[in-house]
Structure 1
Amino acid sequence: MQYKFIALDLGDDIDIKRLMREKSSHVEYIRWEEPFKFKYAQGTVFVYSFGAVVGLNVPSTQFNTLVSELDDYVIGMVKHTSAELLEVILNKEKGIEVSEDKVYVPRIDDGVISTTAFVLAQSVSLHRIEQKTELLIDEIEKFLSEKGKFAKGKKALGLAMKILKTRHEILSDVMILDKPDITWESELYDQLYQKLSRYYELSRRYKNVTTKLDHAFEVASVLLEIHGESKANLLEWMIILLFVLEIAMSLIEKLF
């Protein structure tokens, strides 16, 4: 049997509860790392609340049709990332090996499938955050290049809030630093997760994104400080002006 995965990120969040109500006869509690699974086109689909969709043995044409349907369940803006493809191949004589979008494993079971789907979901969702980070960096660079705009703290505050929200997505939604609970159940699952994480460079990409976000937040913070100092200076000059006007009025009264 073939085990071909395709993964795509649809947007910031997916309304899993509404999806479950409309696709299933009952709604059950699932943890953040657990997907809503259902059969589709002779395959299986894994839908994660943090925006990712993974198809197992779902032909690309049917997968694209499904993605169009799932767009309605996205909370916020719909923005697809590029798809990730991976094939899981059984090889009982060797350990876990990953190369050229293929992973060789000594056995294939539900744990292997779940672990593989989760890493793919993390990778495509991290790609969405990478794209969002680049847009933030471009926005800050554009803001800095605009002459005479440093006193506009409202925009700087908006940039700072966007940066914090993006960091929140990494830590609380994609949970890029945490392994799924299933990896504690078997050494095979743990090794598979570690090797796939290295293959998709999740740790390096995470550090790269957080470094850029830290730098962007520092810039936004400096802009806010400049805005605060500008307002303070304006108030000081207004007080001085009022004092000068008061003296001038007193002199006028005395002279005339």
Structure 2
Amino acid sequence: MTPKTKRPPTTYSLKTRYLGEQTDLKKIQENVRKYHYLNRDHPLVIQLLDHEYAVLTKFGTVTFWNTTESLANQFIKEVTPYIKNVNPLYDYTDTLKVHIGPGAERVSFEELHIQNLDVEKMKIISYVSGQSAALDRYENDINERLDELGKVVENLKTSGRTRSTQGSLLRQVGHILSVKQNAVSNISLFDKPDETWERAELEKLYNELHSEYELRDRFDVLNEKIDFLSENNTTLLNFISSQKSNFLELIIIILIAIEIILFLPDWLPFFRDLFWRLFG
């Protein structure tokens, strides 16, 4: 199904925004009924006005096509209740110009030239742009964890101690692993959209965009950082566990010494008589 417009523009300005972790597309269709839905699967293409569209992904992004800022903000407000872990401070975006017309089709990081546009192509373009914006969020998360690790290591180097606890480090490890799980599962970095199996031109478009956005390379770098963080947090956990074990051993030795001191007066007459019998 093609978008219902009287005079389709030859250029679309796209802006993708990352809103939250997951979007319930089914509930949006059930509760936000004022717009025209051009499909019912994922990604979800919605006609807001003539020549103005929004494309929602299940992994928390929305791509606006030729949409005014006021209408985009209104739409976000309407769909926010159906998005998990929305954060208004998120500033992960992607922009793209899509030019439609005769000539060779080509892809660059900021511009895309194609001969025609339909709903399936809108889905593919928005899907890859959304993956890039979502990956920005996870890259930023891991970079923040690297900064925190740097502070812990610096404190360990200067004072020989770490202020981190086992609980806090375990939470860090859990957060780091969740980033990897979300990157692989939620934004489906390694799963091609179903449409690419049905039309060769869609597969070609997807592959070119995927390559231009360097999604595989970016994930590989992200994965290396995750492995580095996991290894270092495990080392810190072992260090803290060793410190705690040594401390407990010291406490046991002190308690034994105290017990000996407390009971020593009761045994003094016995040891004194024994001494005189042996050496007196």
TM-score range for the pair, normalised by the shorter chain length: 0.7 to 0.9
Cα separation, 2, equivalents of 1:109 and 1:16:
21
**RMSD (Å), alpha carbons:** 2.6
The question of whether the paired residues in 2 share the 8 Å contact of 1:150 and 1:227 is answered with: no
The question of whether the paired residues in 1 share the 8 Å contact of 2:32 and 2:79 is answered with: no
Structure 1 runs (4+) greater than 6 angstroms displaced: none
Aligned position for 1:159:
172
Cα separation, 1, equivalents of 2:137 and 2:224:
16
Ranges in structure 1 where 5+ consecutive residues have no aligned partner:
none
Q: Deviations over 1:178-213 (max 9, x none)?
A: 221211112111111111112112112111211112
Does residue 176 (structure 1) correspond to residue 186 (structure 2)? The answer is no
Q: Which amino acid aligns with 1:35?
A: P
Ranges in structure 2 where 5+ consecutive residues have no aligned partner:
1-7, 35-39, 270-280
Cα separation, 1, equivalents of 2:245 and 2:164:
11
How far did residue 229 of structure 1 move? 1.4
Does residue 86 (structure 1) correspond to residue 96 (structure 2)? The answer is yes
Cα separation, 2, equivalents of 1:100 and 1:48:
20
Q: Deviations over 1:33-86 (max 9, x none)?
A: x13332213322111221100122322342233234434433224143343222
Aligned position for 1:99:
108
> Number of residues paired by the alignment?
251
Aligned position for 1:128:
137
Cα separation, 2, equivalents of 1:217 and 1:165:
12
**Among 116, 130, 152, the residue aligned to 1:143:** 152
**Among 215, 224, 247, the residue aligned to 1:202:** 215
Does residue 238 (structure 1) correspond to residue 251 (structure 2)? The answer is yes
TM-score scaled by structure 2? 0.79
**Among 19, 23, 27, the residue aligned to 2:32:** 23
The question of whether the paired residues in 1 share the 8 Å contact of 2:169 and 2:237 is answered with: yes
Q: Deviations over 1:89-108 (max 9, x none)?
A: 234442x3113622122443
Aligned position for 1:37:
45
Aligned position for 2:62:
53
Q: Which moved more, 1:64-73 or 1:120-129?
A: 64-73
Cα separation, 2, equivalents of 1:68 and 1:4:
21
Report the secondary structure of 1:179's partner residue: coil
Q: Which amino acid aligns with 1:134?
A: N
Q: How has the CA–CA distance of structure 1 residues 67 and 47 changed in structure 2, closer, same or farther, with 3 Å as cutoff?
A: same
Cα separation, 2, equivalents of 1:165 and 1:61:
34
Q: Which moved more, 1:97-106 or 1:193-202?
A: 97-106
Report the secondary structure of 2:265's partner residue: helix
The question of whether the paired residues in 2 share the 8 Å contact of 1:14 and 1:75 is answered with: yes
TM-score scaled by structure 1? 0.86
**Among 214, 223, 234, the residue aligned to 2:236:** 223
Q: Which moved more, 1:8-17 or 1:185-194?
A: 8-17
The question of whether the paired residues in 1 share the 8 Å contact of 2:15 and 2:93 is answered with: yes
Q: Which amino acid aligns with 1:207?
A: D
Does residue 188 (structure 1) correspond to residue 201 (structure 2)? The answer is yes
Q: Which has the larger radius of gyration?
A: 2
Greater relative contact order: 1 or 2 (C-alpha under 8 angstroms, separation 6 or more)? 1
Cα separation, 2, equivalents of 1:181 and 1:252:
85
**Among 4, 27, 38, the residue aligned to 2:13:** 4
